Amino acid sequence: MKIVIIGCGKVGTSLCSSLGNEDNDITVIDSDPKALKRVSDTQDVMCIEGDGANADIQYEANVNKAGLLIATTPNDELNILCCLIAKRLGVKRTISRVRNPVYFKQMDLIKEDLGLSMVINPELITADEIFRILMFPAAARIDVFAKGRMELVEYRIAEGSPLEGKTLAEVYKKNNVQYLICAIERESNVFIPSGDFILRAGDRINIAASHENLEKFFRTMGTLKNKARTVMLIGGGKICHYLTNRLTESGVRVKIVESNFEKCRQLAEELPKATIIHGDGTEQELLEEEGLVDVDAFISMTGIDEENIIMSLYAKKNSDAKIITKINRDSYNDLAAQMGIDCIISPKQLTASTILSYVRSIDTSTSNSIEALYHIVGNKVEAIEFRVNEDIKDLVGVPIRELKLKKNILICAIFRKRNVIIPNGSDTLEIGDTVIIIQKDHRIFDLEDILD
Partner 1 sequence: MNKPIVFHYIAKIMLTSSALFLLPCAVSFYYHEKRIAMIFLLIAIIMAVIMAPLTAIKPKNKQMYAREGLVIVAMLWVIFSVIGALPFYFSGEIPHFIDAIFESASGFTTTGSTILTDVESLSRGMLFWRSFTHWVGGMGVLVLAIAILPTSNEAMHLMSAECAGPQVGKIVPKGKDSARYLYIIYAALTVLTIIFLLIGGMPLFDSVCHAMGAAGTGGFSIKNTGIAFYNSAYIDGVLTVSMILFGVNFSMYYFLLIRRF
Enumerate binding residues for partner 1 (CB under 8 A): 2, 17, 20-21, 25-27, 40-46, 60
Which residues are CB-neighbours of 143 under 8 A, at least 6 positions away? 151, 152, 153, 374, 376, 383
2 versus 132: smaller Cβ distance to partner 1: 2
24 versus 210: smaller Cβ distance to partner 1: 24
Q: Within its chain, how far is the Cα of 331 from the centroid?
A: 17
Smallest gap from Cβ 50 to partner 1, in A, equals 15
Integer CA distances (angstroms), 87 to 7, 356, 405, in order: 17, 20, 43
42 versus 250: smaller Cβ distance to partner 1: 42
What whole-number distance in Å separates Cα of residue 400 and Cα of residue 14? 37
Smallest gap from Cβ 18 to partner 1, in A, equals 12
Q: Dihedral of the CA atoms 358, 359, 360, 365 (nearest 10)?
A: 90
Q: Say if residues 62 and 73 touch (Cβ distance below 8 Å).
A: no
Smallest gap from Cβ 132 to partner 1, in A, equals 33
Q: Within its chain, how far is the Cα of 321 from the centroid?
A: 22
2 versus 211: smaller Cβ distance to partner 1: 2
Smallest gap from Cβ 22 to partner 1, in A, equals 10
60 versus 77: smaller Cβ distance to partner 1: 60
Exposure on the CB side of residue 39, measured as CA atoms within 13 A: 30
Smallest gap from Cβ 80 to partner 1, in A, equals 25
Smallest gap from Cβ 45 to partner 1, in A, equals 6
Residue type, 423: P
Where do runs of H (alpha helix) occur along 207-329? Answer: 211-221, 238-249, 261-270, 284-289, 305-318
Measured distance between the N- and C-terminal CA atoms of the chain, rounded to whole angstroms: 27
69 versus 410: smaller Cβ distance to partner 1: 69
